[in-house]
Structures are given as C-alpha cells and as structure tokens.
Chain A
Amino acid sequence: MAEQMEKNSLKKNVLSAQIDLSKFNFDESSFEKATEEEKRQQDVMSESTTFFKDGMKKLMRNPLAVASIIVLVLILGVIIVAPHVVPYSYSQIISVNGKRDKTAKNLKPFEYSENELKYMEEGGKVFPHIMGTDSQCRDYFIRVVYGTRVSLSVGLFASILVLIIGLLYGSISGYLGGKVDLIMMRVVDIIYSLPDMLVIILLSVVLNETLKPLLEGTILQKLGVNMISLFIVYGLLYWVGMARLVRGQILTIKNNEYVLAAKATGAKGGRIIMKHIIPNCISVIIISTALQIPSAIFTESYLSFIGLGVQAPMPSLGSLANTAREGLQSYPYKLIFPAVVICLIVLSLNLLGDGLRDAFDPKLKK
C-alpha cells in the first residue's frame, strides 16, 4: 500500500499547490475511452503557419495588391528583356544598312522611315519602332525602357539609402535613450522642418558645379552629376522620417511586457533584439521603405523635369516627359508613354505598399 501511495504521489514538494493524486482512487472504470469523433477533434485541420506565410496568404487574397504585383513584374520583365531583344540603344541614331538614317525623325508608333521602307523592299529586316522615334532619330521605345530603368533604380537605391541611415540613426537614438536621444532628435526636428524640395534644388545646382570636375573620367560620370547629388541629398535629408519611425517603434517595443518578461527570465540583450524587437518592427520598416520608392521616383522625375535630373543622353521618365512638351502639338504620344509608365509604377507601388501593410503589420491584426 505504501508503495502504491508512493507511485500516485506526484507531489515533490509538500508546499506545492499541485493536486495530490494519491488522495483519489483511480481504476480502469473511472475513465472512458474516447470515441472516434472525439479523437478526430485532435486532428490538425490546417498546416501550422508562420508569420510570413500568413501574411503572404493575406496579401494574395487582396486583388489590388495582386494586380499591382502583376503590373510591376510585367514592367520589370520588359525593362530587363527589351534591351536584349530590341536592336537599338538609347543614345544611338537609327541606322539602315550601316548608314545613319536622317529620315527616321519623329516617326509614329510602328511607322517606318523612307530609307527603312526601301531597305525592306530590298529584302532587309527592320525591327519595328514600337513607340516611334524622337526628334533626334532615336528609337523611342528603348528610350522609355531605359528611362524606366533609371527611374526605378534611382527610386530603389534612394530608398535603401534612406533605410540604412534611418535605421542606424533611429535605433541608436531609441536604444540609448536619455540625453543622446534628446540631442539626436532635435537634429532630426530641424532637418524635418527644412523644405526638402527647395534644398534638393539648391544642392543639385551647387553639387552640379562642384562635383563635375571630381567625377571626370570615373564610372559615376555616366550616371551624371545630378543623380549623384540626388543621392547625396536623399542621404542628407530624407532619412529623418525613417529615423523617427524606427525610434518610435523601438521605444514602444522596448517598454512592452514581453520584453520585460524576457528580461526577467534572463534573456540577454542580443536575444531580446533578435527575437523581440526586430521581428516586431521589421514589417513596418519594410512597408515604409516600399512606400518611399514612389516618392523618390516622384522627386527624380520632378528634378529631371526642371532640368536637374539625369545627364543627357541618358533618359529618365521625367526628362522624357519634359522633352515631349516641345512637340506636344504634333506628337502627344511622346508624353503619354512616359507619363503612363510613371503613373503605373507609382500607383502599383502605392497599392502594393498598402496591401503589404494590411497583410504584415502586426498591429493591424484583429
């Protein structure tokens, strides 16, 4: 009997609140076997899901986000493939049979020049000008493709730059707190209140003059001084929004109960950052980076439009729209193409950003 008591008594500590099973008398008849139906309740109905998988599923259920992904993939596909398929380059004057073709000026979409028609009659093959040609006998389609490439990559790199600087600054400020935080945030306040577009214009004008001799002969020259200054200005001014966001995130997360709990159970600083702080703010940061891209594209095209953008003959969507103004009366399609591409990119990035926020922001979960 004493042995039996010993077996049933799971209580190791006398003071424990655990129920002392030895006080009850259990035998086979006290239990009932589970029926098949009851067993089935334990079955796993759906596969276990991760945060990422769950978010992707939500994103894919959002028709606007899916449509924007499709549009973006299509645009990306075209700008990657087109330069390998179309036999023209963005700065090259169209030549027929090795000769420069001066008649291929301001052609309409899918129109051929006189020389090209002659050449085709002789049996030669000419790649069609999908969007016609510009006033300097260059294929317009390939210029729009390169313009899109330039605008998109400027948007992407500028956003990454903003992300890196803002993330570092914001996390240092948020994590250290106290006086350091106060001083760092006053700096942010001042930069935040500067009228960014004006400072961009001003710096672009100045950097244009001062950087030109420095870049002579380097790879960066091809990109143009204006683009370098755009990046510099982005690096100087636009990170403040991101820094504020990151700091705010870190401050709120730092004071959450689960961080306190993790600290109480003895988690080290590194583990808290990796397991608690980063997963909770990464989605917000990525979403605002995604939403930063269209604004960078806007800025770039705006600067190109007032003549402070990419170096000619390199096109960008803004500079193409600007040049199209001159012949607006006769060739309106030259404005329509780059304008539609800008609007499509910005619209789909905006919608995708909204979709990402709905799908991945942990605070919106209900």
Chain B
Amino acid sequence: MYRYIIKRVLLAIATVFIIAAITFFTMNAIPGGPFASEKAPSPEVQRVLEERYNLDKPVGEQFIIYIKNFLHGDLGVSLKTGRSISTVIGESFPVSAKLGGMAALVATICGLVLGSIAALKRNTIIDRLIVFVTTLFTAVPSFVLATILLYVFCIALQWVPVFSADETHYTLPVIALALYPMAYITRLTKTSMLDALGQDYVRTANAKGVAGWKIIFKHALRNAVIPVITYVGPMLAYILTGSLVVENIFTIGGLGSKFVSSITNRDYTMIMGTTLFLAIIMVTMNLITDIVYSIIDPRIKLD
C-alpha cells in the first residue's frame, strides 16, 4: 500500500519536472527572444533587460535558475504587463476554482442520480430518455454549448445579462462545463449500478426483506460509486481545459481567460507560468484520485 503511494508520488513529481522542462525548453526555442518586438529597445536597454532576466547566461544555468525560482513559488513576470505571474494566478485562480468546483459538484451529483434512475427504471421510457440525452451531450463541445447557452439565455430570452462580471451569474458557465462530465458519469453509474444490482449480495438482502431504498443506498450505490471515482481525475482535467474557453465566452475574469488572452498576446512567460500551474493542479488531482481509489476499494490488488 505505502509502496504504491510512494510510487505514485514519485511519478507525479517526475511528471511535474518533465512539464517544467518542456515548458522551459520549448519557450526557449522560440526564435528572436522575448524583447525582439516591433519596438526594439536600444542595445544598452536590451543588455540591462537581459541581465535582469538572466537571459545572458547559458541555457543550462537559466534552467537551473528557473527551477530554483519555481520551487520558491516564483514563476517570473508577465512580458506584457510586467506583473508577477504568481500574483496574477493568486488573484484569478480562486474564481476559476469556484467555477470548476461547482461544475464538478453538479456533474457528479446529477450524474449519480440520473445514472441510478436509469439503472433502476431499466428499459422504461425514463431510461431511454436519459440515455438519449446523455449520448447527445457527449457530442457537444463545451465551447459550442457555452455559446449556444449565451445566445439563448442572454440574447434571445434576456434572462441573464451578457456581461456579468457579477459572481451571482455562474449558472450558465457551470451548466456549460458540467453537462459533458455529467453525461459521462450518468453512463458510468448506469453500467456499474446494473452490475451491482445483479450481484448476489443484493439478492440476499432482498431475500432477507431489507427495504428497497436501503438496498439501493447501502448495497448497490456504494459499490456503483467506485468506478465513478476513477473518472474524477479526467473530469477535473476536462473542466479545467473547458473553463479556459468557457470563462472567455462568459467574460469571467478567471485564470482561463487570462490564459487565452496570454496566448493571443504571445505573452510567453505568462503562458509558461500558467501551463505549469495548471499542470501541477491536474497531476495533484490525479494523484489524489488514485490514492483515494486504492483506499476506498480494498478489493483492488496493488502490485
């Protein structure tokens, strides 16, 4: 057990290090350097700038400095605004985390409920309807869904203002982010629920005369939830990447919109810092999921 956890932690650290190396060396490969813009500064200014950002040192040394700073939580400064990237992330990440967390919660709860209903009412019209709707939702990219929601509810029906910097209007972005993972969780829950309902222990409980709801909650659902836990990691990754565009569409000032605008502005240090930060979040989430999974289900044999 401990060996497994240690192995997973080491793999996660290696992954983060590799991502840091990829970001550093790919960004370094861009020709021209960060100061070769339209308004090229004079050679003296350029030298001072290069000295300040350690760009005059050899690449290897630059990488070591970069890793050292990174370990101290310093991700450098934005090339366009000159602000510290850590500060920008610190300001905007809570907004994204709130949005993503709400979406994840909605997706999981609705997915579990719908999946269980579909399994319990198998082959009825309700089951067919749920399967149809979830199949449909897995084919809609989050950015298309977000734009359609924006059109229908903000422009056509005018229920929600278009530019809502206000935090009370998280409903639409949460729906846009949550529908795809919800559909996936519904399908997952349905299969594992059907599997659990066919098990001997459910039949035994039935034979003993245990109440219907008790069988569902205490015996079937508890076992059906386990496969859903494995999906938590991929779901968070989906919501994170999805929120990059969804935040942009709904003009929410989270990390996602900062990231997309830094791509359009070619703000390389900002792209680098944000990628690294998001990657760490994802790797950590996957790590936690894996460990929780191995603790929750003792039937899983770890090598």
A positions within 8 Å CB-CB of B: 189-190, 193-195, 197-199, 201-203, 205-206, 209-210, 213, 294, 298, 301-302, 305-308, 318, 321-322, 324-325, 328-329, 332, 335, 339, 342-344, 346-347, 350-351
Give the residue name and chain of the A residue nearest to B278 (CB): A198
Interchain residue pairs with CB less than 8 A apart (11): A190-B14, A194-B19, A201-B275, A203-B26, A205-B268, A206-B30, A209-B32, A210-B31, A306-B260, A318-B143, A335-B148
Beyond A205-B268, A321-B147, A328-B151: 20 further Cβ-contacts under 8 Å? A190-B14, A195-B240, A198-B19, A198-B282, A202-B272, A203-B26, A206-B26, A209-B30, A210-B31, A298-B141, A306-B260, A306-B263, A307-B263, A318-B141, A318-B143, A321-B143, A321-B144, A328-B155, A332-B155, A344-B139
B40 within 8 A of A: no
CB-based closest 8 A-B pairs: A347-B139, A197-B241, A206-B26, A346-B139, A195-B282, A339-B144, A209-B30, A193-B15
Do B283 and A325 touch across chains, with their CB atoms under 8 A apart? no
Q: How far is the CB of B303 from chain A (nearest CB, A)?
A: 12
B120 at the interface (CB under 8 A from A): no
Check A347 against B135 for contact (C-beta < 8 Å): yes
Collect the chain B residues with CB atoms within 8 Å of residue A328's CB.
147, 150-151, 155
Interface presence of B223 (CB below 8 A): no
Partner of A335 from B147, B263, B275 at Cβ < 8 Å: B147
Interface presence of B97 (CB below 8 A): no
Q: Is B244 an interface residue (CB 8 A)?
A: yes
**What residues of chain B lie closer than 8 Å to A342, measured between beta carbons?**
141, 144
How far does the Cβ of B183 sit from chain A's closest Cβ, in whole Å?
Answer: 11
Q: Please give the residue numbers on chain B whose beta carbons come within 8 Å of chain A beta carbons, in ascending order.
A: 11-12, 14-15, 18-19, 22-23, 26-27, 29-32, 135-136, 138-141, 143-144, 147-148, 150-151, 155-156, 237, 240-241, 244-245, 248-249, 260, 263-264, 266, 268, 271-272, 275, 278-279, 282-283, 286
Contacts of B248 in A (CB 8 A): 306
- Complex formed: what's the CA distance from A308 to B264 in Å? 9
| Residues of B contacting A: mostly | helix
Residues of B within 8 A of A201 (CB): 263, 271, 275
Cα separation A33 to B147 with both chains bound (whole Å): 79
A222 to B264, CA, bound (A): 21
Report the separation of the CA atoms of residues A271 and B219 in the bound assembly, to the nearest whole angstrom: 49
Report how far A339 CA is from B136 CA in the complex, Å: 13
- CB atoms of B11 and A193 under 8 A apart: yes
A contact residues around B286 at 8 Å (CB) = 193
- Are the CB atoms of A190 and B18 closer together than 8 Å? yes
Distance of A199 Cα from B20 Cα, bound (Å)? 11
Find chain B residues with CB under 8 A from A202 CB.
Answer: 22-23, 26, 271-272, 275
- Determine how close the nearest CB of chain B comes to the CB of A244; give it in whole angstroms: 15
Considering the complex, give the chain B residue whose CB is closest to the CB of A306. B260
Shortest CB-to-CB span from B253 to chain A, Å, is: 17
Task: Report the Cα distance A225→B266, complex, angstroms.
Answer: 16
CB distance from A215 to the nearest CB of B (A): 14
> Which residues of the partner chain B approach A301 to less than 8 Å between Cβ atoms?
141, 143
Cα distance, A324 to B147, chains bound together (Å): 9
Bound form: Cα–Cα A324–B271 in Å: 26
Q: Are A306 and B244 in contact (CB under 8 A)?
A: yes
A83 to B220, CA, bound (A): 55
Q: How long is the Cα–Cα vector from A257 to B198 in the complex, in angstroms?
A: 31
Give, as a whole number of angstroms, the nearest-CB distance from A353 to chain B: 12
Bound-complex Cα distance A305 to B156 (A): 23
**Chain B residue contacts of A322, Cβ below 8 A:** 143
* Chain A contacts for B282, CB-based, 8 A: 195, 198
- Interface contact B147-A351, CB-CB below 8 Å: no
In the complex, are the beta carbons of B12 and A193 less than 8 A apart? Answer: yes
Q: Is the CB of A197 within 8 A of B15?
A: no
Interface pair A193/B141, CB less than 8 Å apart: no
Contacts of B138 in A (CB 8 A): 347, 350
The residue on A at minimum CB distance from B155 is A329
Report whether A305 and B139 are in contact in the complex, using a CB–CB cutoff of 8 Å: no
Residue from the set B11, B144, B155, B156 with the largest chain A CB neighbour count within 10 Å: B144
Residue of chain A at shortest CB distance from B142: A302
For the complex, give the distance between the alpha carbons of A120 and B282 in Å. Answer: 60
Cα distance, A332 to B144, chains bound together (Å): 12
* Distance between A250 CB and nearest chain B CB, rounded to angstroms: 20
B residues within 8 A CB of A305?
143, 245
For residue B240, which residues in chain A have a CB less than 8 angstroms away from its CB? Answer: 195
Cβ of A206: which chain B residues have Cβ within 8 Å of it?
A: 26-27, 29-30
Please state if B245 and A347 are interface contacts (CB–CB under 8 Å). Answer: no
Least Cβ–Cβ distance between B240 and chain A, in angstroms: 8
Q: Which B residues lie within 8 Å of A213 (CB)?
A: 31
Cα A343 to Cα B282 in complex, Å, equals 27
Contact of B135 among A205, A306, A329, A350 (CB under 8 A): A350
A322 nearest in chain B by CB position: B143
Q: How far, in whole Å, are A307 and B260 apart by their CA atoms in the complex?
A: 9
CB proximity of A55 to chain B, nearest CB, Å: 22
Closest to A206 in B: B26
Given A198-B241, A202-B23, A335-B143 contact (CB < 8 Å): no
Contact of A325 among B19, B147, B275 (CB under 8 A): B147
**Inter-chain contacts of A343 with B (CB < 8 A):** 136, 139-140, 144
Residues of B within 8 A of A347 (CB): 135-136, 138-139
Residue contact B11 to A189, C-beta cutoff 8 Å: yes
Are the C-beta atoms of B135 and A302 separated by less than 8 Å?
no
Name the residue on A nearest B237 (C-beta): A195
> How far does the Cβ of A229 sit from chain B's closest Cβ, in whole Å?
11
